[in-house]
Amino acid sequence: MKTRFAFLIPALALCLAATHAAEKPTAWTSMFNGKDLTGWKSNEELPGVFTVANGELKVSGGRAHLFYGADGNASFKNFEFKAKVKTTKGSNSGIYIHTMFEAKGWPTKGYECQVNSTHTDKKKTGGLYAVKDVMDVAPSTDEVWFDYYIKVDGKHIVIQIDGKTTVDWNEPADWDPSKTLKNMDGRKLSAGTIALQGHDPKSVTYYKDLSIRALP
């Protein structure tokens, strides 16, 4: 028995190590090279909305969406995302998750994580748009870079602004957005890409240091 047990210990250790490795998140991947839009695809609903200068991704001019992936269809299920964001007076933008490339209109699939410090829309930065909103007072300030963090793990969504949690929400098992959200039937978790939103002609928003990593 002693000899057999001695053989079992190394085998068990290797098994546990393999399990731990399989559960470990992947390394962070930079999504933006600071020079151009390589690795992204704009739907060009309004050309020129997304430009790059001084290591920053500028969003201005009107409605259009920029989707991550060479074809705009990268796919993530469980993940962590982080970026630095800067709003300007009266600007509105958003970060879509679990979405897909669409040629025009507001993305119909996935959730929007709101970016809005002083736009007239009362739904402010750090909210899960129309689902778990941050109302009236934004945790962000115009002309000041802030950290935007999103985590999706199973049915659990967490949003943090500058390290402060603004959303901690679990999608219910019986979640049916068509019952409560007008024209937002696709607001549910599945898998999909990340998209940045150009909102309206008066909105100017900046992004940099965008990174993502897949979770088990």
Residue 162 has pLDDT above 80, yes or no: yes
Higher pLDDT, 126 or 26: 126
**What's the confidence (pLDDT) of residue 24?**
81
Q: CA 35 → CA 53, 54, 72, 102, distances in Å?
A: 7, 8, 18, 25
Under DSSP, the state recorded for 192 is B
Q: CA 201 → CA 41, 60, 63, 97, distances in Å?
A: 20, 7, 7, 23
Give the predicted TM-score (pTM) of the model: 0.89
Give the torsion sign (CA, 88, 205, 155, 173).
Answer: positive
> 36 with 163: CB under 8 angstroms?
no
CA angle 38, 75, 190 (to 5 degrees): 145
- Residue (of 102, 66, 63) closest to 186 by Cα position: 102
User: Measured in Å, how far apart are the chain's first and last C-alpha atoms?
Assistant: 38
**How far apart, in whole angstroms, are the C-alpha atoms of residue 138 and residue 31?**
26
Architecture of the 27-214 domain: Sandwich (2.60)
Confidence of residue 20 (pLDDT cuts 50, 70, 90): very low
**What's the confidence (pLDDT) of residue 3?**
45
- Residue (of 154, 102, 111, 163) closest to 133 by Cα position: 111
Span 102-121, average pLDDT = 98
**What's the confidence (pLDDT) of residue 82?**
98
> 148 with 84: CB under 8 angstroms?
yes
Tell me the two tokens of residue 171.
């999608």
Confidence of residue 1 (pLDDT cuts 50, 70, 90): very low
Higher pLDDT, 58 or 22: 58
Amino acid at 9: I
Confidence of residue 21 (pLDDT cuts 50, 70, 90): very low
Q: What is the pLDDT of residues 42-79, one digit of tens each?
A: 999 999 999 999 999 999 999 999 999 999 999 999 99
Residue 22 has pLDDT above 80, yes or no: no
> 210 with 67: CB under 8 angstroms?
no
Give the SS3 label for residue 21: helix
In the chain, domain spans: 27-214
Give the SS3 label for residue 105: coil
At 42, phi and psi to the nearest 5? -85, 145
